[in-house]
Amino acid sequence: MGVHNSINTGKPITVTIDGKECKSTFGKTILEIARENDIYIPTMCYLTKVQPIGSCRMCVVNVEGVDGMILSCQEKAVDGAVITTNNDALFKERQNIMRLYDVNHPLECGVCDKSGECDLQNKTMEFNVDTQHFTARDQHRPVENWGYVSYDPSLCIMCEKCVRVSTEITGDEALKVKFGGYGSTIINVKKERNYASLGEAAAVCPVGALVQTHFKYTTNAWELEKIPSACPHCGGGCQMYYEVKQDKIYRVTNEFEFTNLCGAGRFGYDYANEGVTKDAQAFEAAVEAFKKADSVIFAPQISNEEALILQKLKEKLGFKLICHEARAYQKFMEAYAQVSGKHLYGGNLKDLSKSQGIIILGTRINNDSPTLKYHINMASKWQRARVAYMHPIEDSEMQHIVTQFIKYEAGSEEGAVALLAYTLLSDADIPDTARQALDDLDIGNLSAESNIGEEELEALRKSLLKRHGFSLVVGEDLYAHPRAEQIATWVALLERYAGFNVICVPPAGNAMGVSLVCDLDDTVEGKTVGYNVKGDFTLSALGNGDLDMPALNQQEGTLTTVDKRVVPMHVALPYGGYVLNDIANTLGLRAAYTIDYTAQLPEESGFKSVAFDDLPEYFDTVGNEHRGYLLGEKECDTQLNIEEVGELDTFDGAVIYRCNPENQFSPFTAKSPLLSEEAVLTGSQQFAAVTKLKEGDEIRFEVDGVTFTRVFRIDTAMKGTIALNPTFDMGLSASLLSSYRFSRLSFEKSNNDKIGNNDE
Amino acid sequence: MSRVVFSTWRGEFVDNRGKPSDKWDESGFKLPETYDGDTKSKAFIGWDGVAIFHEDIDAVELASKYAAQYQEYSEACGRCAPGRWGGRILYDLLDKIARGEGTYDDVSHLKEVSETMMVTSKCEIGKTVPKPILDLMEHYKEQFDTCIEAQQPSKHYNGDTSYIAKVTAPCTDMCPAHVDIPAYIEGVRDMIFTDSLAATRQTMPLAHTCGRVCPHPCEDACRRANLDEPISIMELKRIGADYETDHALPWQHPFEVQPPRNDGKKVAIIGAGPAGLTAAYYLGIQGIHVDIFEELPVNGGEVAVGVPEYRMPVEKYNKDIQLVLDLPTVHIHNNHRVDAERLKEIDAEYDATLLAFGTRLSKKVRAANENPKMKGYWGAIAMLDKVNLWSKYGIGSPASNELKDKVVVCVGGGFTSMDVVRCSIREGAKKVIMLYRRDEKTIIRNTTYEEYHEAVEEGVEFIFHSAIEEIFDDGEKITKLKVNRFELVPDPNGGRPQLQKIEGADFEIECDYLIPAVSQSADLQLLPEEWNIELTSWNTILTNGRDFMSSRPGLFAAGDCEYGPMTIVNAVGQARRAASVISRYIYDGKVSLTDEEIMEDHLNKLKVYDKSEKITGWMPGLPRAVSEKLSVDERKDNNKEVNLGFTGEEAIAEAERCMRCYYISMVAV
C-alpha cells in the first residue's frame, strides 16, 4: 500500500499563467508556480518559508471560468487553470489595498529604520499612491520595548509574518495576533522571557514596526554594506549578513525569505579582536613555540582552512594535534560509518522539517542547536509530528513541540539507544548478527537500569505507527560517553535498517569540519601550543594570549555545517595582526592567503576541489540554497560488531550537566555584549534540597581539571537532581571541558565547608 | 411570511413604502419582525440584505451602527488589509454623515472602499458587510442626502433605538451546539492549536468526542459545498484536542475559571452523559456549585458505555470528562441511582435540577412471539453496556463469551445498530446480519457514509427493505427469524413512496442472537407521579425547546431524555442553553434568554445557509482531505481506533479550504 495521500499532492499538472504554459505538481500554490516561472505577483504578507498567511490580499489574480478574484498565495493551482496575474481591475484593487495600508501610516520615513528597504515604501511607489485617499480616525498606540526587539504598533500593517515565524519557525510562540478590527495588534505573550529568537521575527517585518532595539536610530539602512557570511557559533553555519559601516558592525541580517537565524547568530556578532597590530616579537615566539611543540591543542571555533593548516603543520612537524570535541565526534562518526557504510550521517534539515516522527536523544537541543530545534518545530507544526524527547532532564522550552518525554538515567545512553533499537527494529530486515544482538538484550534489566519503562517504548512504537518520514537527532551527550562507539553502532543501525533520517549534531563551532579535515590525536603530550585554548604558548582571538589571532568575523574561510554543506565566511571587520597562515608560511608551507587552502580540503572526506572565490552564495527565487557546496558522500567498508551493553555507570545524588544557556556557545558569544548572560549553576528545587544549596549560594568545584566558582540559582521550571553548568564564560579553558557531559558534583561552598554529596 | 416595509433580503425586493397597508407585499423569509415577547423589531440588517419593519426607520444610523459592529466583533476581523482599514473607514464615513458632517465625496469613497472590501476581503464579513449598507444608500438615498445637504444629524441620531448584533456562520448556525467553527478551523490554519481548542470549548466541552463521532450536521450547511465539497469540519476539531493531550498541556479553557461563588446556590444534574457534563461545565466554569448524580460506576453516559472503543477511545473521552470534573465546583456522585423519592429530596435541596439521564431502554422490534426474556434476545443498550464495560473498564466479562462463532441478527439502521454489528464482528461472531426497513441511501443519511462503508468492509451483511415478522424459539433460546421483504411503491397521487410487503418473498434466518436496535426510550420512573410532569407524545420530558424548563419550575431537562434519542452535539447544545438559563434562574427565579440566545434562535429560524448561493473568489476543485483509516485486517479483530486523523499537511490544506463564512446580523429595536 502506498503512502496515504488524500489530497493528491505531487500529481503533475500544467497551468497557464499570463499566456505561459507552466508545468508543476499539485499542491503548489498559484504564486509558487508563478515564481518558479519568474512571473511577478505583488505581495505584502507572503513569506516563502512559512505557510500562506493571506492577510494582505495583494496577490489576487483572475482564473478563467472562476468568478471573483483568487488569492494566489494560498489557493493551489488545479490542472488546466488559465491564470491572469495583472489587468486593470486587479491593479485597481491592489492600488486600493495600498491606499488602505497608507491610511494614517506615520510619515516618519526620514527617521524610520526600515526606510530604504521597506515593502510599504516600495509598493506605495509601485502603485502610485501619492495622496491619502481614505481617512479614518487615528489611534494612540505607544511603542513597546520587548528587549532584543521593539514594536511600534502604529507602523504595523498586521501582515502577521512575525507571528508565523514565532509559531512555525523559532517555536518560541511569543507573538500572537490580538484581534480587534482596526485596533488589531501584535502582542508578546512571553515578554518576561526576552527571547533573542524574536530577532528572526523582526527580520521578516516588511515595515519598521518590529526592529532590533539596539539598532534603532543608529544609521540609515542604505549606508550599510552587506557582507555575506555564515554564522560560526553552534555548528549550524546559518546564512547571515554582517551589515557594516566604517569598520563597525551595526547589525546582522539574513535571507529571511528562505532561511533562519537564531538569537546568537543575530546578536552575537560583536566579538572581533580589535586594534591588533603586527607584533614581530610575539610572532617569532609563536613560530618557535610551534617548532618545539609536542602538542597543538585548539578550539573548534576555526575555519576548515585553518584546520587544514594545522593538519599540514602536524604532518610537517610531527606534533600531536588535539581538538577534544572534534575528536570525540570523529571517533563516533567512524564507528557510525562502519555500520551505515557512509562516512556522513544520512539526514538533513529539509527532511527533518518534513518528518512525521522525530526522536531526539542525547542532546538538550534547544540549547545545543537552535537551527535543529527550529526544524523540529516546523515538523511539529506542519506535519503534526510526534516528537519523542529522550534525555535525563526535561526541557520546558520544548513542551509545545514534544509529544513524549522519555527520561533516562544520566550515563545510561547506551542502554537507552539499545532499547530504542530493540523497539524500532523489531520487524526490520536486519543482519543475523544484529538480530542476535537484539535477541540477547536483557530488556528487563536495561529498562530497570536506564529507567525507561517498557510501556514508554510501546507508546513510542505505537505513536509512530502508520506514519511516514522519521528522523533521529542525536547529540553531544553521546560523543564523549565512555561507550560512544557502541552507541554509534546502535544509532547507525536505525539509519540503515529502520529508515531513520539521522542527524548527529556536531558539537559547537566547526567541530564537524575539523573532524573531517584533521587527523586528531587523543592525548596531550609535552609542550603545547594552544589556539583559542590555554597552552604553554597561546594563540588567541580573544585577545588574551601570547599572540593575537583574528576572530572568525575577521577571517575568510569556510565552515562545515550540520546540513553537510561547506559554506563561505567573509571578512566583516579588518584585522591588523598576524594570522595562522603567516606562521605556517614561516614554518615552510606556502600559501599567499588562508583561502588558498579551500580547494585543497580533503576530497576523501567529501570536500570538493573548488576555489574559495568560486563558491556560490545565493538562494534562487523559489528558495533553493546555492551556498558553497554539499559534502560528497563516501562509501565505507562496513563491519558490524555489537558488544553487550556495558555496565551502567551510576550517577546518584547531585549531578551537573555541561550546558550553555540559549544563545551562548563559546567564549566568543560570551564576549558579545548584546548577549549578556550571567553564568550560573541552575538547578531545580529538588537539586537544591539534595545539595542543601540555597538560591544565591556560591560554590567551587572542578570538572576536567578546570575549577569553577559558580553562583547557584533555582529554576522552578526544572525538575530532578541534575543542574546545568555553563562553560561559555570559561575563556581559554572552555574547550578543555569536553568529557562526558554529566558528572557527579563534588563541591565546596565558598566558606570552605566541604559538602560533596558522593563523598559523604 | 413576514410583514415588512422594505426588504432586500436574499435577493428579494419588497418596497411597501407609501402603499396602503392592505396592498403590502410580504417578505418570503422568516425575518425577526418581533424581537422577543412584546418587543417589536424596527429593522433587521445582515449579510444578505436589509429588512425594515418600521416606517420611521433612521436608515443612516442603521447603516452606521451596522458598520460599527464590524469593529465590535473583533474576533471575526482585523486580519486582512481590506477588512481592517476598510471596515473602520466605512464606519467613520457613515458616522460622519449621520452626525451631519458628511459630503458627497464621502459617499463616493464609501462606495469605492465597499467595492474593494467585497472583492478582496479575507472572510465573508468583509465581503458582505458593505452589501446592506449599499442597499440602504441606494433605497433610502433621500435620508443620506438630507444629512449631507442640510448638514444635520440623521433623524433619530443618538435616539433611543437599541441595536443588537450577532456574528454567525452557516456551519455554526446549523450546529446544534453553535460551535464557532470558522474560529477553530482558523486555529488549525494558524497552527496555534490551543486557540483552536479554546474556540471549540466556548460552546462545546466535548472536543475530543465531537471531533470523532459527531454526525456533523454542520457539513450539510458548509458553503464550500456550493463550490466543490464541504470542509471536513468534524475532523479538524480533533486536532486542537489531541494537541492538548499530546503535549500534556494544562486545560485550555475558553474563559477564565471563576473562583467558587460559595453563595449557597447549587445545581443538581441527573446523569453524567454529554448533556450532564456540558451543563456542569458551563455552570462550573462560572463558579456555580454543581452536583452530578450518576447511576453507573463510570462516567460519560451512553458515549462511554454505548459508543465502542474503536470509534471513540475511552482515554480520549476521559479527557473531555476530566476537563469538566476538574472544575473546583463540580462534584460527581457515582453509583447513585436517582428514583422518584430521591428526586424529590434533590428537588427540595437544590436551587435547580437538570434531568439529563438519556434514553436507556431498548425498544422492541414488534414481531410475533417477541419475548425479551428469551435467551438470545439481547437489547442493544444492554449488549453495548456489556461490550464496553469490559473492553474499556474491565468490568464484567467479555461479550465474546456469548458471541464468539455465533450468528447475530441486528434490527436497526441508526448509529446504535452500527455499533452493535461492528462490535459483534470484533467479538468474533461467525456471521453478522443487519436488517433494515429502508434502503442503503437512508442508512447512510441516518449515520455516515464512513460508518456504513466500514461496516460492510468488516463483513457485516446488510439486508435492506426487510423486517422480522416472527421470532422462533425452542423454548430455551431463539432459533430462527421469519423475515418479510418490502419494496418502495411510488404513490400514484404523487405523495411519498410507500413501503409495501412483497408477497412470497419471505425468508428465514437461523440465528443465535437477535439484537433489537430500533430505538430507545426514556426510563421515566424517576419522575414522581404527583408532579404530573408534562411529556411529549414520544414520552420524553416536554420543554419549549428554548429554555429547557419542564412543566415544573426549577426542573430542567436536556439531551435525549428531552429530545428523544439524538446526537451528542444535540445534547451539548441543549445542555449549554439550559445551563445558561439555570445560571440566571437560581438567582432571580426567572426563565430568561440572553440577547445572544434570542438572536441565535432568530437566525436559526431564518436559516443562514443558502444552498443555491453562487460562490465567487475561491478556487474550485481542491479535494477534500480524507484521513487515513486502519485497513480491515488491521482493525476488525480489535478495538484500535480506526480513524488515524489528519496528517499535518492534510489538516492545513483542509483548513485553507475554509472560506470563513462569518456574517454579522443586527436587529434594531
Mean pLDDT of chain B: 95
Which residues of chain B make contact with A135, given a CB cutoff of 8 A? 89, 92
Q: For residue A182, give how far its alpha carbon lies from the nearest alpha carbon of chain B (Å).
A: 5
CB contact under 8 A, A134 and B619: no
Which residues of chain B make contact with A464, given a CB cutoff of 8 A? none
B474 touches chain A (CB under 8 A): no
CA distance A432 to A601: 39
Are A659 and A725 spatial neighbours (Cβ–Cβ below 8 Å)?
A: yes
Q: Which of A157, A180, A381 sits opposite B191 (nearest CB)?
A: A381
CA distance A552 to B411: 79
In sequence order, the 6+-apart residues with CB closer than 8 A to the CB of A421 are A438, A490, A493, A494, A498
Which residues of chain B make contact with A400, given a CB cutoff of 8 A? 247, 249
Which residues of chain A make contact with B232, given a CB cutoff of 8 A? none
B245 touches chain A (CB under 8 A): no
CA distance A728 to A662: 11
- When pLDDT is cut at 50, 70 and 90, the band that residue B636 belongs to is confident
Are A63 and A73 spatial neighbours (Cβ–Cβ below 8 Å)?
A: no
Which residues of chain A make contact with B656, given a CB cutoff of 8 A? 52, 74
A759 touches chain B (CB under 8 A): no
What is the full DSSP assignment across B298-358? SSSTHHHHTS-TTTS-HHHHHHHHHHHHTSTTEEEE-S----HHHHHHHHHHSSEEEE---
B648 touches chain A (CB under 8 A): yes
Q: Which fold has domain A328-504?
A: Dimethylsulfoxide Reductase; domain 2 (3.40.228)
- Collapsed DSSP state (helix, strand, coil) of residue B576: helix
- Collapsed DSSP state (helix, strand, coil) of residue A708: strand
CB contact under 8 A, B653 and A168: no
Grid cell listed for B189: 490554519
B606: left (phi over 0), alpha (psi -120 to 50) or beta: alpha
Write out the CATH class of domain A655-749.
mainly beta
Torsion of CA B532, B533, B535, B540, to 10 degrees: -130
Q: For residue A87, give how far its alpha carbon lies from the nearest alpha carbon of chain B (Å).
A: 15
- Collapsed DSSP state (helix, strand, coil) of residue A249: strand
Which residues of chain A make contact with B87, given a CB cutoff of 8 A? 181-182
CA distance B224 to B236: 15
The pLDDT assigned to B70 comes to 82
Are A636 and A339 spatial neighbours (Cβ–Cβ below 8 Å)?
A: no
Q: For residue A81, give how far its alpha carbon lies from the nearest alpha carbon of chain B (Å).
A: 10
CB contact under 8 A, B81 and A63: no
Q: For residue A397, give how far its alpha carbon lies from the nearest alpha carbon of chain B (Å).
A: 12
- Collapsed DSSP state (helix, strand, coil) of residue A685: helix
Q: Which of A6, A51, A383 sits opposite B625 (nearest CB)?
A: A6
A141 touches chain B (CB under 8 A): no
CB contact under 8 A, B648 and A381: yes
CB contact under 8 A, B81 and A135: no
Are A83 and A16 spatial neighbours (Cβ–Cβ below 8 Å)?
A: yes
Q: Report the CATH number of the A12-86 domain.
A: 3.10.20.740
The pLDDT assigned to B73 comes to 67
Q: For residue A662, give how far its alpha carbon lies from the nearest alpha carbon of chain B (Å).
A: 22
- H helices within A465-548, ranges in order? 484-497, 511-517
Does A135-267 match A655-749 in CATH topology?
A: no
| Chains A, B: CB pairs < 8 Å | 188
B616 touches chain A (CB under 8 A): yes
Q: Each residue of B16-36: pLDDT tens digit? A: 999 998 999 999 999 999 999
Which amino acid is located at B111 in the chain? K
User: What is the β-pairing status of strands A82-84 and A60-63?
Assistant: antiparallel
Q: Each residue of B440-499: pLDDT tens digit? A: 999 999 898 889 999 999 999 999 999 999 999 999 999 999 999 999 888 888 888 888
CB contact under 8 A, B116 and A135: no
Q: For residue B274, give how far its alpha carbon lies from the nearest alpha carbon of chain A (Å).
A: 28
- Collapsed DSSP state (helix, strand, coil) of residue B407: strand
Q: Which residues 96-125 of A have a C-beta within 8 angstroms of B?
A: 96-97, 100-101, 103
- Collapsed DSSP state (helix, strand, coil) of residue B70: helix
Q: Is the pLDDT of residue B190 over 80?
A: yes
- Collapsed DSSP state (helix, strand, coil) of residue A742: strand
Closest CA to B600 of B576, B618, B616: B576
Q: What are the structural domains, with CATH classification, of chain B?
A: 2-161 (1.20.1440.230), 169-360+522-593+622-664 (3.50.50.60), 362-520 (3.50.50.60)
The pLDDT assigned to A133 comes to 87
CA distance B614 to A135: 33
Q: Please give the ipTM for the structure prediction.
A: 0.94
Q: Which residues 388-447 of A have a C-beta within 8 angstroms of B?
A: 399-403
Helix axes B104-120, B141-150, angle to 10 degrees: 140
The pLDDT assigned to A137 comes to 86
Longest dimension (CA), chain B: 96
Residue in B85, B112, B193 to test binding to A, most A beta-carbons within 10 Å: B85
- Collapsed DSSP state (helix, strand, coil) of residue B418: helix
Ordered by start, the domain boundaries in chain A are 12-86, 135-267, 280-321+526-622, 328-504, 655-749
Are B591 and B547 spatial neighbours (Cβ–Cβ below 8 Å)?
A: yes
CA distance B513 to B433: 10
Which residues of chain A make contact with B651, given a CB cutoff of 8 A? 384
B625 touches chain A (CB under 8 A): yes
Q: Is the pLDDT of residue B74 over 70?
A: no
B647 touches chain A (CB under 8 A): yes
CA distance B36 to A703: 78
- Collapsed DSSP state (helix, strand, coil) of residue B556: strand
CB contact under 8 A, B616 and A137: no
Q: Report the CATH number of the A135-267 domain.
A: 3.30.70.20
The pLDDT assigned to B494 comes to 81
CA distance A479 to A332: 6
Q: Which of A78, A103, A382 sits opposite B648 (nearest CB)?
A: A382
CB contact under 8 A, A55 and B79: yes
Which residues of chain B make contact with A401, given a CB cutoff of 8 A? 247
Q: Which of B80, B86, B119 sits opposite A69 (nearest CB)?
A: B119
Q: Which residues of chain A have pLDDT under 70?
A: 1-2, 648, 751-760
Q: Which residues 191-230 of B have a C-beta within 8 angstroms of A?
A: 191-192
CB contact under 8 A, A167 and B191: yes
Q: Which of B70, B617, B651 sits opposite A68 (nearest CB)?
A: B617
What is the full DSSP assignment across A622-662? T--EEESEEPPP-B------PPPPPPPPP--S-EEEE-PPT
Q: Is the pLDDT of residue B50 over 60?
A: yes
Which residues of chain B make contact with A184, given a CB cutoff of 8 A? 74, 77-79, 84
